Structure 1
Amino acid sequence: MSAHSLAFERPVTPPPGTAAALSDQQTAVDKALVLLKALADQDGEIGVSELARRSGLTKSTAFRLLGILQRNDMVERVGSDYRLGTRLFDIGARVYGPVSLQLRERLLPHLADLYVLTRETVHLAVLHDTDIVYVNKLHGHRATRSPSRIGARLPAYCTAVGKALLAFDHDAAEAAVLAGLPQLTEYTITDPTTFRAELDYIRRTGIAYDRQEAAHGLTCVAVPIMGPGGRPVAAFSVAGAEHRFDRARFAPALRRVAYEATRAVAALTRAQPSTALV
């Protein structure tokens, strides 16, 4: 055997300080992930002092790591505050495949139209197993505290977008029922018979509602966006505070925009026949 081969088999002793450096690197990664999680739990921007407090880090450490994350487009700076960067969504969206990205890009103009018509917070979501994933969101002028964030997952059974999608996907709806319908608020539908009746209503009317079922004080109205074969590929919703939000008032705008979005999905399918949207 050649000396060259033996060189590859001989155990290599790391130089002094290497193990410590690796440990420090892991610690920095851990701290960066804690910062990202704190940002993910925040609806909107947040300052470095509050981020440091929530993360258990010193302000100087948080500021240094935020600078690194910002240079890599993982966070964005808005004045003196921070929020998650779009690069994180691009990475996270790959968990759900390229279809979510295609829908996000193709349907963004229609989501913007819905925002212009309502001036409220609007969402685009897709179904993933028995959860919904928010792939886009535009904040209204009177934003309401909400668990919805781009890239976030919520149980489909207690959200308007989720019910709009489950109503036209029998297998997913039954899977959601079999998995259980835990009560998130006192308004959450937890009885399977009542839930199936709710989905039947949505199929007949084409409109789904969330009446504070996912979070207190939050109400939504949603419609599905249909794809090939009459199956839903995504859903739009309009959300607002329960005390001032008239859900039924936004149904015409939702129907109008969903109709145009369905046409856009059909055009995408014709242009790319191999695209599996459902």
Structure 2
Amino acid sequence: MRTAPGRSATSRALSLLDAFDAAHPAMTLSQLARRAGLPVATAHRLLGELVAARLLARRRDGSYEIGARVWQLGLLAPPTSLREAALPHLQDLVVATGHTVHLAVLEDRRALVVERLARSRSQPTRHSPGGHLPLHCTAVGKVLLAHAPPELQVEVLRAPARYTPWTVTDPEALRRQLATIAASGSARSTQEHRPGVWSVAMPVTGPAGVVAALGVLAPLTAPRLASALSPLAAAAGAIGASLADVDLGEASEAPLAPLPPE
């Protein structure tokens, strides 16, 4: 497969890193080249650079996996500081509600799950930390979208995807929902993203405004989530208060081994 002309060495290297996901934690050279859309020779040369920089590691069987340096750099990212500040309050919220809780931030046009905690009897979820959720049909996503810039709202609501028969896809109806969420301070989703699951979420507000959404999700057969609203509000407020001492806007930069020009 030939790549689009004009791609820089950096963008090609990033395409190799982006090829990894939960379903592909380790891949061979040919698999990586195919998923990244690169010629095998180019992928081989860039993989050598990434291994030398410890961004990737080569396993004994010759396949490649994410390197420890990616994890080290990830610890410097603002969501990591947010997670550390929020974790004690998430644990308290799980105990108070008995349900799964998750914390999410806005990333491009999706909600990035920063942390997820659950008790053994809680609603299982396929979205572990690092996973993404749609903005228009999940409770945490709706909270983030309600406080997002208007241009992002327009883009997301242009063609909302349908995930279940209960997903709201009418842009005008969603705009009304977002206005209500912004005014009320909470969002709900009932089977809109996954059948048999409902959730409620509230914003986490830091010194610079809404920085995250905190949600509780449970099976539809569980007692109504009304009883979760009070502990959810308390946890969101406590997390927000703790952010006064946390820098979420700037991450330290570690120099990387340079990639060769192309």
Paired position in structure 1 for 2:93: 114
CA contact (8 A) 1:145 1:218 kept: no
- Change beyond 3 A, Cα 1:199–1:157: same
2:181 is the alignment partner of 1:195:
no
2:146 is the alignment partner of 1:167:
yes
Give the superposition deviation at 1:68: 7.5
How far apart are the structure 1 equivalents of 2:222 and 2:60? 42
Root-mean-square deviation over aligned CA pairs? 3.1
- Change beyond 3 A, Cα 1:111–1:145: closer
Task: Read off the aligned partner of 1:252 and give its amino acid letter.
Answer: S
Give the superposition deviation at 1:237: 0.8
Paired position in structure 1 for 2:238: 260
- The structure with more helix, counted as a fraction of residues: 1
How far apart are the structure 1 equivalents of 2:141 and 2:223? 20
TM value normalised by structure 1: 0.62
Percent identity (aligned): 31
Task: Read off the aligned partner of 1:104 and give its amino acid letter.
Answer: R
Give the superposition deviation at 1:228: 2.8
How far apart are the structure 1 equivalents of 2:221 and 2:73? 34
Paired position in structure 2 for 1:233: 211
* 4+ residue runs over 3 A deviation: 87-94
Paired position in structure 2 for 1:138: 117
2:139 is the alignment partner of 1:153:
no
Give the superposition deviation at 1:264: 0.9
Give the superposition deviation at 1:148: 1.9
Paired position in structure 2 for 1:105: 84
In terms of Rg, which structure is larger? 1
Considering Cα pairs closer than 8 Å and 6+ residues apart, tell me whether 1 or 2 has the greater RCO: 2
CA contact (8 A) 1:159 1:210 kept: yes
Q: 1:129 aligns with which of 84, 108, 119?
A: 108
- Change beyond 3 A, Cα 1:197–1:89: farther
How far apart are the structure 2 equivalents of 1:246 and 1:90? 39
Matches within 5 A, 1:75-94: 90=71, 93=74
Matches within 5 A, 1:208-247: 208-229=187-208, 231-247=209-225
Count of residue pairs the alignment pairs up: 196
Give the superposition deviation at 1:92: 9.4
TM value normalised by structure 2: 0.66
Paired position in structure 2 for 1:176: 156
- Change beyond 3 A, Cα 1:215–1:93: farther
How far apart are the structure 1 equivalents of 2:90 and 2:83? 9
